[in-house]
Structure 1
Amino acid sequence: MDDRVREHAQTLVEWSARIEPGDDVILQVGEGAHELAVAVAAELGEREANLVSTYTSGEVHRAYMRAHEGEFEPDPAHELALYENADSVLSLRAGWNASATADVPGERSQALSRARTGIREAHMDTDWVSTVHPTRSMAQAAGMSYEAYRDFVYDAILRDWEALAEEMAQLKEILDDGDTVRLQKAGGPVETDLTMSIAGRTAVNSAASVAYDSHNLPSGEVFTAPYDTEGEVYFDVPMTLQGQRVRDVTLSFEGGEVVDWSAEQGEDALEDILTTDEGARRLGELGIGMNRGIDRFTDSILFDEKMGDTVHLAVGRAYDSCLPEGEAGNDSAVHVDLITDVSEEASLTVDGEVIQRNGRFAWEE
């Protein structure tokens, strides 16, 4: 076993999930994540945690959804109980085919997502962490050799997370104190000029640990929950959504809601997402990437949205960690991130002050 796999497992269990003796842990094992699952299980065993492992597969998910023609039972009790009684959920993503569910009807995916709302909420209430184990299919999607892709993954994951957390704290403080964010970018089918209110919101310093209200490894972003969005935005980073390739997306906002949208490719998949429910046409997240260990786009949202020189906006559900106590943010059965490259002809301002220009922050040389 590559020593980096063991280091990955240790980082996940110790730094990210903060597993303690006696914790009840669900380990969701992706198709190609066997080696990482073995290393994580060993770490959990050393900490005397209680382990239940499950298997996740795009092909299994596809087979179930295509065969199920009736109504989906809302929040089946056996599955709901599993998450309601868990302290942590560790998800090891390692799919064999990013397009495994491409031929599942969009309305069926929407119906299943709505039917699992309670399960999703119970999952989110745990100390959950999602990570990825490099596979050849991921390397192929990224246009890289398997060996080069493994190096890329571990450069992003095996970071000095304490040092990065200190740097990201500067941006968190700016967003916490701010009222209005403006994103501008030249080029594309529309000139991006988008304003969002963040007054009263709390930004999350996403330093790859539940201690920071951060749930992805790798991470390296600061995010908050915007509202009252106005203007237009162009997303030039391609991605796979619901098994379909989507690229060159534009969204137009009025009164905080998407009123018009288009995509050069995959517009049907985009429309399926935006029409899931009322909340799917409002923003749930503004995220700013700060992980300089990620140096290229690989069609994996877990990496692409954390890359330095990027900003991402998620339509759908807002995270409770960004909201004042007792306040409900945007609610939806979906949370889908769209990414724009801000390395050229772009600026991000907070209350009129430029905090990032062409991908570089005000405190960076």
Structure 2
Amino acid sequence: MDDRIHEHAAVLVDWSARVDAGDDVVVRVGEGAHDLGVAVAGALGERDANLLACYDSPELERAYLRAHGGDFESDPDFELALYERADSVLSLRGTRNTSEHADVPGDRERAYSRARQRIREARLATDWVSTVHPTRAMAQEAGMSYAAYRDFVYDAVLRDWESLADEMRQLKEVLDAGSEVRIRKEDDATDLTLFIDGRTAVNSTASVADDSHNLPSGEVFTAPYDTAGQAVFDVPMTVRGQRLEDVRLVFKDGVVVDWEAGAGGDVLGSVLETDGGAKRLGELGVGMNRGIDRPTGQVLFDEKMAGTVHLALGRAYDACLPDGETGNDSAVHVDLITDMHREGTTLEVDGEVVQRNGTFRWEEGFAEV
């Protein structure tokens, strides 16, 4: 077994999930993530935690959804109880086919997602962490050899997280003090304003200690409460097994009022029709992980890529909200990504340019105008 798999497991258990002796840990093992699952099981055993492993397969889920009549039981008690009793939930993604859900009817996906709202909330109330084990299917989707893709994944995961956390804290402080964020891109007419006063930005350091739940991470995100203008998302994504490209969204009073997509329009339309919150934004995120230097089709990596901004349709994270306030609620949280490296591109907070052409003002090479 590649020694980096054991390093990955140690970072996940110790830095990311902060597992202690006696913790009850659910490990959801993707169909291609067996080796990482074995390494994680060993790490949990060494720390005297309690392990329950589950098989997490898009192929099994596809078979179930296509055969089901569509009237799903709301939050089955046996599964809800599992997550309500867990201290941590570790999701080890590792699909063998990134398009496995491509032929699942959209209405079936939406109904299943809505029926599992409380299960999702119970899982998100734990010290959950999601990570990825490299598979050949993911390498193929990224257009890379398997060996090169493994190197890419471990470059993104096995980082000096404390040092990166210090760098990202600079942007968190700017966003915490700000009221309006403006994203402008001259080449595609993106001009979007997001309102964030009263919100708290999360410094996503790949550790639950900082309300950060993805490994790799390397982003700073917050939850806008209103949005106006339009944005074009030029980084391709895979959503529900379908390719989504060149998305344009127009917002008025915080709601999507017009949209189009160069590819994947059906799946985008299905997402937007999920519920009332699906046409509002739940997240503004800024990628800062320079170990991720190219899009791969896997959102867990692509949204952290330095020099990108992502906006998520749907659910807002409670960590960004003031006490007692409920943010945008939805059964979906779908990220869309725009590349900020191009000439004439700026990220502004309260009229001050924080990033120009993909470079932050505190980084070498920032272009003054």
Band of TM-score, shorter chain: over 0.9
Report 1:50-89 matches (<5 A).
50-89=50-89
Q: Give the secondary-structure state (helix, strand or coil) at the position aligned to 1:259.
A: strand
Report 1:248-263 matches (<5 A).
248-263=246-261
Instruction: Provide, for residues 81-107 of structure 1, a one-character-per-residue CA deviation record: whole Å limited to 9, x for no partner.
Output: 000000000000000111101000000
Q: Give the secondary-structure state (helix, strand or coil) at the position aligned to 2:309.
A: strand
Report 1:240-319 matches (<5 A).
240-319=238-317
Q: Give the secondary-structure state (helix, strand or coil) at the position aligned to 1:214.
A: coil
Q: Give the secondary-structure state (helix, strand or coil) at the position aligned to 1:154.
A: helix
Contiguous gaps of at least 5 residues in structure 2: 365-369
Question: What letter is aligned with 1:152?
Answer: F
Separation in structure 2 between the aligned mates of residue 339 and residue 8 of structure 1, nearest angstrom = 26
Instruction: Provide, for residues 300-327 of structure 1, a one-character-per-residue CA deviation record: whole Å limited to 9, x for no partner.
Output: 0000000001000000000000000110
In the alignment, structure 1 residue 364 sits paired with structure 2 residue 350: no
Question: What letter is aligned with 1:326?
Answer: G
* Other-structure match for 1:32: 32
CA drift at 1:186: 1.9
TM (normalized to structure 2)? 0.98
TM (normalized to structure 1)? 0.99
Separation in structure 1 between the aligned mates of residue 187 and residue 55 of structure 2, nearest angstrom = 43
Alignment RMSD (CA, Å): 0.5
Contact in 1 for aligned 2:303/2:309 (Cα 8 Å): yes
In the alignment, structure 1 residue 220 sits paired with structure 2 residue 218: yes
CA drift at 1:187: 2.0
Contact in 1 for aligned 2:70/2:111 (Cα 8 Å): no
Instruction: Provide, for residues 22-62 of structure 1, a one-character-per-residue CA deviation record: whole Å limited to 9, x for no partner.
Output: 00000000011110001000000011101000001111010
CA drift at 1:134: 0.3
Separation in structure 2 between the aligned mates of residue 65 and residue 250 of structure 1, nearest angstrom = 30
Separation in structure 2 between the aligned mates of residue 187 and residue 108 of structure 1, nearest angstrom = 38
CA drift at 1:70: 3.7
CA drift at 1:262: 0.4
Question: What letter is aligned with 1:99?
Answer: S
Runs in 1 of length 4+ with deviation above 2 angstroms? none
Separation in structure 1 between the aligned mates of residue 281 and residue 196 of structure 2, nearest angstrom = 12
Instruction: Provide, for residues 248-296 of structure 1, a one-character-per-residue CA deviation record: whole Å limited to 9, x for no partner.
Output: 0000000000001100101000000011001000000000000000011
Instruction: Provide, for residues 56-77 of structure 1, a one-character-per-residue CA deviation record: whole Å limited to 9, x for no partner.
Output: 1111010000000141000000
Question: What letter is aligned with 1:242?
Answer: R
* Other-structure match for 1:125: 125
Instruction: Provide, for residues 195-248 of structure 1, a one-character-per-residue CA deviation record: whole Å limited to 9, x for no partner.
Output: 010000000000000011000000000000012100000000011111111100
Contact in 1 for aligned 2:70/2:108 (Cα 8 Å): no
Question: What letter is aligned with 1:39?
Answer: A
Out of 336, 339, 346, the position equivalent to 1:338 is 336
Separation in structure 2 between the aligned mates of residue 186 and residue 239 of structure 1, nearest angstrom = 22
Question: What letter is aligned with 1:357?
Answer: R
Separation in structure 1 between the aligned mates of residue 208 and residue 2 of structure 2, nearest angstrom = 26
Percent identity reads 69
Separation in structure 1 between the aligned mates of residue 310 and residue 283 of structure 2, nearest angstrom = 8
* Other-structure match for 2:367: none
Q: Give the secondary-structure state (helix, strand or coil) at the position aligned to 1:252.
A: strand
Separation in structure 1 between the aligned mates of residue 260 and residue 290 of structure 2, nearest angstrom = 30
Question: What letter is aligned with 1:364?
Answer: E
Report 1:77-116 matches (<5 A).
77-116=77-116
Separation in structure 1 between the aligned mates of residue 70 and residue 107 of structure 2, nearest angstrom = 12
Question: What letter is aligned with 2:97?
Answer: N
Question: What letter is aligned with 2:127?
Answer: D
